[in-house]
Amino acid sequence: MFPRIKWEWGLKDTVADHLMTFAKDGLRTLVMGIWELEKDDVQTLIARMELIENQGGPMKEEWLEEIYDEYELELDYVGASAIEDKL
């Protein structure tokens, strides 16, 4: 997630330090970011994903990952969290 965030100066290192502390304590970490899509972008995205879902096939997951990579860039940082994950 880190490469997908549009970081403010100095924030990336601070968040990374906190997440490292959480991880060393055995917590599962999560970084959240958002990006607002225009209505036309959403309609295009849905149409592309539906086409792939309906076609299926062995390349389905790879094609979906490519779409995600196109849209999940320059996200605004929302926050980071950590939880205990008892297995």
Per-residue model confidence as pLDDT tens for the chain (87 residues): 899 999 999 999 999 999 999 999 999 999 999 999 899 999 999 999 999 988 878 888 999 999 988 888 899 999 999 999 776
> Domains in the chain: how many in total?
2
Same-domain check for residues 42 and 22:
no
Number of separate helices (H) and strands (E) present in the chain: 3, 3
For 58, the 3-state DSSP assignment is: coil
The answer on 66 and 77 residing in a single domain is no
Q: With a threshold of 0.85, does the pTM exceed it?
A: no
Sheet holding 75-84, edge to edge: 5-6, 75-84, 27-34
Indicate whether 51 and 78 sit together in one domain: no
The answer to whether residues 52 and 65 belong to one domain is yes
Note whether 40 and 16 are same-domain residues. Answer: no
- Whole domain around residue 14: which residue ranges? 1-34+73-87
Is residue 86 located within the same domain as residue 63? no
Same structural domain for residues 26 and 55? Answer: no
